[in-house]
Amino acid sequence: TVLMCRGKAMRDFKGPDCRFVNFKKGEAVYVYYKLIGKSTELWAGSVGSDFGYFPKDLLEINHNYSNEELELPTDVSLTWFCCF
């Protein structure tokens, strides 16, 4: 996993379930995956020690760590999950 970029949350976000990462306006969000295909509106990243999906439109990018993007096919669906 490669850190792609860092951004600042433009508003509070509370995800609908445990697959999503929650954050408050102004918090730093670190992006590790930019999803494509059926879920282009979601990215995956971390806030503190929490990791999950979030809407990409809620993030203002302020630092790029990598300009290279690698597209990998996957069969993983966002519909499968297990919350503890």
Whether 80 is covered by a domain: the verdict is: no
Edge-to-edge strand order for the sheet containing 50-55? 50-55, 42-47, 28-34, 5-9, 59-64
- What pLDDT is recorded for position 52? 94
Average pLDDT, the chain: 87
Which domain CATH number covers 26? 2.30.30.40
- pLDDT single digits (tens) 33-71: 888 777 788 999 999 999 999 999 999 999 999 877 766
Whether 59 is covered by a domain: the verdict is: yes
Q: What is the CA radius of gyration of the chain?
A: 12
Closest C-alpha among 49, 58, 45, 54 to residue 15? 54
- pLDDT single digits (tens) 8-28: 999 999 999 999 999 999 999
Q: What's the pTM?
A: 0.82
How far, in Å, CA of 23 to CA of 50, rounded?
10
Q: Based on the structure, what is the number of domains in the chain?
A: 1
Whether 33 is covered by a domain: the verdict is: yes
The range of the structural domain enclosing residue 33 comes to 5-64
